[in-house]
Amino acid sequence: MTKTKLNIESWNRKEHFRFFSAFDDPFFGITTNVDFTTIYLEAKHDSQSFFLYSLHHILTKANETDEFKLRIEEGNSVVKYDTIHVSPTIGREDGTFGFAFFEYIPDRNDFIQQAIQEITRVKNSTGLSFSKNTGREDVIRYSSIPWFSFSEMKHAVSFKNGDSVPRISTGKLIDTNGKMLLPISICAHHGLMDGKHVAQFLNKLSEP
């Protein structure tokens, strides 16, 4: 968990950070559809899980967007992690879900292999399935909601406890004349990023 502490006094977002950090709810949310046709076709061609293919793509692009690697720690300190991972929710046959932890590995096949092992752990557990890694700060909280598409979403955030971890959720794929659009909802701390940074992330998602 290598990270670098930012000098807030010389940060060009100093006033933005302090302004939004004083809010009762400093999180903002954006929901849109992103073209995931390439990822969908790759998963289908390889007979692999679209969930894992798309999640690896999302995590890769989050790691390429610095603002998604910023966290508030120790009160009002801001740090940037070198690498961020993902803590997704994993559903079980009994209708419950548990929290998992997938380490970010640039190689997609290696990422999928370790993710499958973690999915097995969660499916064979009960309750929320917390582990020593699921509560880490250097993660993205992620949920897949494959039963329906959506145009808006409210994320659960414990902002009173100083939480600053971004949330990302995806919905059911929308087939639009052969183009596979993925509903994606992003919830982030406004003291750490703005809509422009989310747009940069979304643009990266549209890249191969």
Q: How far is CA 73 from CA 6, 35, 117, 137, in A?
A: 11, 34, 30, 9
The tokens describing 41, both together, are: 């076709």
The tokens describing 93, both together, are: 């046959």
One digit per residue, pLDDT tens: the chain, 208 residues? 899 999 999 999 999 999 999 998 999 999 999 999 999 999 999 999 999 999 999 999 999 999 999 999 987 899 999 999 999 999 999 999 999 999 999 999 999 999 999 999 999 999 999 999 999 999 999 999 999 999 888 877 776 667 899 999 999 999 999 999 999 999 999 999 999 999 999 999 988 6
pLDDT at 1: 81
Q: CA-to-CA distance for 6 and 146, rounded, in angstroms?
A: 38
pLDDT at 154: 84
Dihedral sign, CA of 89, 152, 64, 208?
positive
3-state secondary structure 96-109: CEEECCECCCCCHH
Q: Residue 54: enclosing H or E segment and its boundaries?
A: helix 50-63
User: 103 exposed, middle or buried (CB, 10 Å; 0-12, 13-18, 19+)?
Assistant: middle
Tell me the pairing of strands 139-144 and 77-81: unpaired
3-state secondary structure 14-38: HHHHHHHHCCCCCEEEEEEEEECHH
Q: Quick check: 39 and 56 in contact, CB under 8 A?
A: no
Q: Quick check: 40 and 50 in contact, CB under 8 A?
A: yes
The CATH T-level fold of domain 3-206 is Chloramphenicol Acetyltransferase (3.30.559)
Cross-strand partners of 112: none
The tokens describing 15, both together, are: 């006033």
Domain boundaries, the chain: 3-206
* Residues recognised as catalytic: 190
